[in-house]
A and B are shown apart, each in its own frame.
Chain A
C-alpha cells in the first residue's frame, strides 16, 4: 500500500470527503481555500476560493454537482463542482462548524457555534433543485427551513449528520450527548448520554441506518439511529477526532491523536498519530496505518470501500488505496464458517 500525499493546503486539514462514486476527494483546511482532487492519481482538479477564514467543513451532493463549505467567516458557500464557481452564499450569525448535504441533496444542515450570546444551533437550508437536471432552478432562500436551537440543559452541538432518506438528524454535543431530531421538521425526538467528553465526529453507515461517533474521551461507538441503542464500543488510548465505517469489509477506521497544543512536547512515536483499524463486529484492533506526524483530524472512506483518506493536523491528506491484504483478512471463525458452508454445498449438490 503506497499512500498518495496531497499537499495542497498550507494549514491543518479540517475535513476530507469522497463523492458518491469515489473518484473525487474534497478537502478543506484552516487556510481559506478548499481543494478538489482526483482520487485515482491525486491530481488536483481545482480550488474553491472565496472564504475569508478557516473552512471547518465541506460536503458534496450525491450528483457531484454542488459542494458546500462552512467557514469561520460566518458564511456557508455553495459551489459548482465542475467550474469551481461560488453559486450562493448564506450569511450566518456565528462560525459554521459542520455542513452536510441530506442524502436526497435537497437540504443542507449547518452546525452553528454557540458563541457571542447565541446558544448554537443546527440549521437546515433548502436547495431548490430541478428534478430532472438537479440544477438549481431558483436562488436558494436566505432563510433557513428550520432551526434547531441547542436544547436546554445540553451543551452546544459539535457535529451533526443525516440518516437514511433525510429521516433523522443525529447531533453530537460538546458534553458527549447524542440527540436525534426529525429531518423534516427539526422536532426533538430523543437524546442519549453517550460519551464523557465532546463528540468529535458522526459518520453514518453506507445505508444510513446506524452511525459511528468518535469522542475526545478515546472511545468510538456504533449507535443505531432508530433506537439510539449502542451496538458496539471501540476503546483506544488516545483522544479521537474522527471515525468512519468501511463498506465492503466489516471494519471501522478511527483517527485521532493528542491535542494539537501537546504535539510539540512529545515525539511522533508517542503521539499516536496513526489511523487505527478495528473490526466492526469483534471490536478488536486489527491494524494501524502510520504516516502522519500530527493528529488525524478526519478520516473518510470511499463509498466503494477500496480506499480511504485521512487529513492531518500536519497539513497533508494521505490517500490510501487498499491492497490485497486488506481484503483478504478474515477471522478464523469466518474462515471455518465459509469452509463449512462450502462443504454443505458440495454435499447437497452431490
Chain B
C-alpha cells in the first residue's frame, strides 16, 4: 500500500499570474492526480458592521438544525426576467411578442405558390385571377432551380433560390457537398454557424459582453439569433472578437456597412464576414 501514499501538493506560479496546483487524492483505492489552474482575485467589500454581525447569527425556529446556505426546499431561483423600463414598454412588449410568434412559425411554413401568402395554394383568394398568369410566367422564364438540377452540379445551384420552390438543403446557398473529401462533416458545420449570415466583429471593447452587444449595438438589426464573444478559456476575458449571426443575409450586409469603422465603447470596430473554420 506504500504506492498509495499521497505526495504533497505542488504549487507552481505561472508567469501570467495564475497558479497551477497539482495534488493527489485516493478514491476507491485508486490514486488520482488533480491539476488545477487557479487565479486568485482579491475583492474588498465594505459591509455595514451590523450586517456583517447578522451574517453569523445562528438559525432558529424551523431552521434550527439546518446547514448554512440556502435550502432548496425553501429558496429557489426563478426564471430570468427582462425588465426594460420605458414609457413605450407596452408597445415594445407587443412587438417582441409578434416577433417571437413570427420566428416560431419559421420562415413561413406554408407558402402559397400563387401569391406567396401564408396559406395553402388551394385556399388562395387570387386563385381564379392570378393562377394562370403566374403559371405562364414561370414556364416562360425558366426555373432556375430546375436548370440547376439539370446541370447536375451543386455549385451552379448556389444563390438561385426562388421563393415558393422547394430547394433541397444541399443545393441552397452556402451548401457544400457532404460527399466531397475536404469536408468531413458538412452538417455539423452548418449547425454550428451559418457563415453567410454571420459577421465577425473585431476590436471590441473587452468589457462588452453578449448582452451589451445585443441591447446597445445590435438592437436596430431585428432579432439576433446568436451572439458569441470569443473569450480566453482560462481567464474568461474577452478577446475583443465577437461572432454575430443575423436573421438574414441582407440584414447582415446592412449591419456590416453600418458597423464597420464605427466607434463603440471608445474603440473603432472592424467588421468582416465570418470565414468558415479551417478544417483540421
Which A residues fall within an 8 A CB radius of B? 1-8, 21, 23-24, 33, 37-38, 41-49, 64, 82-85, 277, 282, 284-291, 318, 320, 322-323, 325-326, 329, 331
**Does the CB pair B59–A286 fall under 8 Å?**
no
| A323 CB contacts on chain B under 8 angstroms | 83
Residue count of chain B within 8 Å CB distance of chain A: 34
Q: Which of A23, A285, A289, A318 contacts B54 (CB 8 A)?
A: A23
When C-beta atoms are compared, the residue in chain B nearest to A83 turns out to be B60
Which B residues fall within an 8 A CB radius of A? 48, 50-51, 54-55, 57, 59-64, 66, 68-71, 73-87, 89-90
**Does the CB pair B87–A284 fall under 8 Å?**
yes
Q: Which of B62, B76, B84, B86 contacts A46 (CB 8 A)?
A: B62
- Main secondary structure, interface of B, reads loop
**Does the CB pair A289–B83 fall under 8 Å?**
yes
Within the assembled complex, what's the spacing in Å between the Cα atoms of A318 and B79?
A: 11
Within the assembled complex, what's the spacing in Å between the Cα atoms of A2 and B57?
A: 26
- Can you list 12 contacts pairing A with B, beta carbon distance less than 8 Å? A1-B80, A1-B82, A5-B75, A7-B76, A8-B74, A38-B55, A43-B71, A44-B71, A45-B60, A46-B63, A47-B63, A331-B87
Q: Which of A2, A21, A325 contacts B50 (CB 8 A)?
A: A21
Within the assembled complex, what's the spacing in Å between the Cα atoms of A48 and B63?
A: 10
**Does the CB pair B81–A7 fall under 8 Å?**
no
Besides A7-B74, A286-B86, 14 more A-B contacts (Cβ < 8 Å) are A2-B78, A5-B75, A6-B75, A7-B73, A41-B75, A44-B59, A44-B66, A44-B70, A44-B74, A46-B61, A47-B60, A85-B60, A277-B85, A285-B90
Q: Which of A42, A46, A325 contacts B70 (CB 8 A)?
A: A42
**Does the CB pair A4–B54 fall under 8 Å?**
no
Within the assembled complex, what's the spacing in Å between the Cα atoms of A288 and B90?
A: 9
Within the assembled complex, what's the spacing in Å between the Cα atoms of A24 and B53?
A: 12
**Does the CB pair B69–A43 fall under 8 Å?**
yes
| A277 CB contacts on chain B under 8 angstroms | 85
**Does the CB pair B62–A5 fall under 8 Å?**
no
When C-beta atoms are compared, the residue in chain B nearest to A50 turns out to be B61
**Does the CB pair B61–A5 fall under 8 Å?**
no
Within the assembled complex, what's the spacing in Å between the Cα atoms of A41 and B74?
A: 12
| A84 CB contacts on chain B under 8 angstroms | 60-61
**Number of A-B pairs, beta carbon distance below 8 Å:** 116
**Does the CB pair B59–A45 fall under 8 Å?**
yes
Given A7-B73, A44-B63, A82-B57, the answer on whether A286 and B78 have CB atoms closer than 8 Å is no
Within the assembled complex, what's the spacing in Å between the Cα atoms of A291 and B83?
A: 12
Q: Which of B50, B60, B77, B83 contacts A64 (CB 8 A)?
A: B50
B63 vs chain A, min Cβ distance (A): 5
| A33 CB contacts on chain B under 8 angstroms | 61-62
When C-beta atoms are compared, the residue in chain A nearest to B52 turns out to be A23
A72 vs chain B, min Cβ distance (A): 20
9 A-B pairs with the lowest CB-CB distances in the bound complex, closest first: A47-B61, A84-B60, A46-B60, A329-B85, A3-B78, A42-B75, A46-B61, A43-B70, A47-B62
**Does the CB pair B85–A7 fall under 8 Å?**
no
**Does the CB pair A290–B81 fall under 8 Å?**
yes
Q: Report which residue of B60, B71, B77 has the largest number of chain A beta carbons within 10 angstroms of its beta carbon.
A: B60
Given A7-B76, A46-B60, the answer on whether A286 and B85 have CB atoms closer than 8 Å is yes
| A325 CB contacts on chain B under 8 angstroms | 83-85
**Does the CB pair B59–A46 fall under 8 Å?**
yes
| B70 CB contacts on chain A under 8 angstroms | 41-44
| B66 CB contacts on chain A under 8 angstroms | 44
B196 vs chain A, min Cβ distance (A): 33
**Does the CB pair A1–B77 fall under 8 Å?**
no
Q: Which of A64, A83, A318, A322 contacts B78 (CB 8 A)?
A: A318
| A329 CB contacts on chain B under 8 angstroms | 85-86
Given A2-B78, A21-B51, the answer on whether A45 and B63 have CB atoms closer than 8 Å is yes
**Does the CB pair B75–A44 fall under 8 Å?**
yes
When C-beta atoms are compared, the residue in chain B nearest to A323 turns out to be B83
| A291 CB contacts on chain B under 8 angstroms | 78, 81
A310 vs chain B, min Cβ distance (A): 12
